[in-house]
Amino acid sequence: MTGAPFVALIALLHSQSSTIEEVPNDPQQESYSAPESSGGSEDSGGIGFRALLEVGPLSFPSGTRGGKQDLFGYAYPSLGVDGGEDFAFMLGAPLRFRLLDSEPKQKDGDYGAWLRREDWDERSDYGQVVRLLRIGDESGRFGLRVQPFLEESLGRGYLVNRYDNQLNPNYHPAGGTLSFTAGPARVQLLASDVLAARVFSGELLLDIGRIASDSEGNFDRYLVRASAAHDFGEAGGVTPEATVASVGGEFAMYKGERLRSWALVAGGARLNEGAQDVGALIGVAFEGNFKGTQISVTAQGRRQGGGFRFGYFGAGYELSRFSAVGLSEEPQSDQRVPKDFSGYLEVSVARGDGPDSPEVVASGAVEYSAFGRADGDLSLSFSTPGGESRGIARVIVVGLGDKPRYSVAAEFRQRVLPAMYVWGAGSTQTFPQPDGTLVQGVSVGAGVGVDFARR
C-alpha cells in the first residue's frame, strides 16, 4: 500500500507528541509510527532518542507470473534522533529473510541469509535506509526533507498529487523535497528518488499581493503558481519519459481566523514530442479549523484529455507507468484518453486535541470523467488516547469503468506492555514484469515490536 498524505497523516497524529515522527517500512510498504513508547522517560524539551525493532512472520508473493507465496521472517530495526522543530533523523532497514521459497530455482543470488534480493538489487533501494531526514521548517524560510513518499503533493497537486513512490514492491526509493522562501516568492522542489533519474518537479509560487502592496491585508490573497515535472523513467524499471507543466492562479475569496476560501484557475500541458495536449480547470477550495477539527475541501471542473491530465503523477503512478489501467495495458505515457470534461473532489478531515484524546485523519480524492472512467484514493488513520492503539488503511482505484486496478492495504498496532506492542498488516502487492505487464498478489504479516524513547 501506499500514504500527505500518509506521511502527513502520521505527522498530524504526532504533531503534539514528543516522540520522533518515523516512517517505518513495514511488510506492506506503509507509513506507520508505532504506538507511543513508554520504554523510557520523556521531557518536554531537549534532544530525543528512539530505538525500535519489529519482528514477525510474513507471507509474501513470489512476484512472478504463476508464482506462489513465499514465507519470510520480517525484521525492522530503526534508530532516530529528534532535535525539535528544525531537525530529525532516523535510520532503519526493513529486512525480509526468506524462510520458505516457492520457486527456489529462480531465486539464486539472494544476499546473506536469504535476504530478499529484489529489495536491494538497485542503487535506489539503498535509499530506504533513510527513514527520515528533516532540516528546517517546510512552512518557513527553508525546509529539507528526505523519506519515503506515501501521499505526496506539490502545491495544489496540479501535477504531483497524492503520489506514492513505494507502490512497486520491488522498488524502495527515498524521496526528497526542498523548499525556500525569499520575499514574495516561494520555491518547492521535489525528487521522487534522490539516488536515481526518476520524477523531478518544481513549483514557483508568487504572492502578487506582496509585490504590489505593502498592506498586510493583501498578503497571501492573490497567488500565481508555475510548475513543471519530468519523469526520466530510469529506476524501478525502465519506462517511457513524460513531461508536464502547469500555470495557475488563485484568489482568496474569504480569509478569516477559522475559515479560508479560494477561487482556483489553472492550465496545463503535456510537453513530450508528439503529445502536446493541453487542459484547464476552474475550482474552489475551503480550509477550516473548528474546535480541534481541520477540514479541507477542493472541488474542480476540468477539461483535459489526450496525453495530459491534472495530477499526472498521482497515487497509482508507480504502477500506471507500466500499465495505465488494468494489468496489461499500455503505459500511462503512451495512453490517450478522450478529450472531455471531468469533475474532481478532494476532502481531508483531521480530528484531535493532543496525545490524550482520540485522533483521526481521513482523506479522499475522486475524479470522474465524462467518458465513463473514475479514479479514487481513500485513506484513514486513527489513534486512541495515549497512542495505545493505532491503525491505518488505504484504497487506491485506477480505471474504474474501464479496466480497473485496485491497491488495498491496512495495518494495526496495539500496545500490550510499556515497551512492547503487537502488529498486524495485510495488503495487495502488484509486481511489474520484464514485459511491462503487472502481476498481483496478497501479503499478510503479524508480529511484535519493542521500542524505547527518551529525552
Q: Which helix (H) or strand (E) holds 251?
A: strand 242-255
Strands (E), 148-198: 175-182, 185-191
Q: What is the pLDDT of residue 275?
A: 62
Q: pTM of the predicted model, to two decimals? A: 0.90
Q: Which three cell numbers stand for residue 366?
A: 475522486
* 348-354 CB contacts, 8 Å cutoff, 24+ apart: 348/294, 348/295, 348/296, 348/297, 349/293, 349/294, 349/295, 349/296, 350/9, 350/12, 350/293, 350/294, 351/292, 351/293, 351/294, 352/12, 352/13, 352/16, 352/292, 352/383, 353/292, 354/16
Let me know: does 231 contact 241? Beta carbons within 8 Å.
yes
What is the structure's pLDDT at 46? Answer: 74
Q: Cβ distance 247 to 265 under 8 Å?
A: no
Q: 138: which 3 cell numbers?
A: 517546510
**Dihedral (C-alpha) 283, 289, 293, 294: value to the nearest 10 degrees?**
40
Beta bridge partners, 396, equal 377, 407
State how far the Cα of 185 lies from the Cα of 209, in Å rounded to an integer. Answer: 11
Distance CA 148, CA 23 (A): 8
- pLDDT attached to residue 45: 60
* pLDDT tens digits, one per residue of 320-373: 999 999 999 999 999 999 999 999 999 999 998 777 789 999 999 999 999 999
Grid cell at residue 361 = 485523519
| Cβ neighbours, 10 Å, residue 347 | 16
pLDDT number for residue 21: 35
C-alpha cell at 81: 534522533
Query: What is the model's pLDDT at position 18?
Result: 30
Report the candidate in 252, 245, 306, 251 with the shortest Cα–Cα distance to residue 274.
306
Q: For residue 262, which of 274, 247, 277, 252 has the smallest C-alpha distance?
A: 252
Count CA atoms closer than 13 A to 316's CA, side-chain side: 31
Enumerate the domain spans of the chain.
6-454
Please report, in tens digits, the pLDDT of each residue of the chain (455 residues total): 333 333 333 333 333 333 333 333 333 333 334 444 444 444 456 789 999 999 999 999 999 998 899 999 999 999 999 988 899 999 999 999 999 887 765 554 445 458 999 999 999 999 999 999 999 988 889 999 999 999 999 999 999 999 999 999 999 999 999 999 999 999 999 999 999 999 999 999 999 999 998 888 888 999 999 999 999 999 999 999 999 999 999 999 999 889 999 999 999 999 987 667 999 999 999 999 988 899 999 999 999 999 999 999 999 999 999 999 999 999 999 999 999 999 999 999 999 877 778 999 999 999 999 999 999 999 999 999 888 999 999 999 999 999 999 999 999 999 999 999 999 999 999 999 999 999 999 999 999 999 999 98
Tell me the C-alpha distance between 134 and 162, whole Å: 20
Distance from C-alpha of 332 to C-alpha of 315, rounded to nearest angstrom: 13
Distance separating alpha carbons of residues 308 and 280, to the nearest angstrom = 10
Q: Are 301 and 283 in contact (CB under 8 A)?
A: yes
What pLDDT shows up at residue 334? 94
Locus of grid cell 497515487: 315
Those residues whose C-beta lies under 8 Å from the C-beta of residue 396, and which sit 6 or more positions away, are 1, 2, 164, 167, 315, 316, 376, 377, 406, 407, 408
| Cross-strand pairs, 359 | 383
C-alpha–C-alpha distance, residues 82 and 63, integer Å? 37
**Distance from C-alpha of 301 to C-alpha of 293, rounded to nearest angstrom:** 27
Residue 79 grid cell: 534508530
Helix (H, G, I), strand (E, B) or coil at 240: coil
E strands present in 83-232: 87-92, 95-100, 130-136, 142-147, 175-182, 185-191, 199-207, 222-231
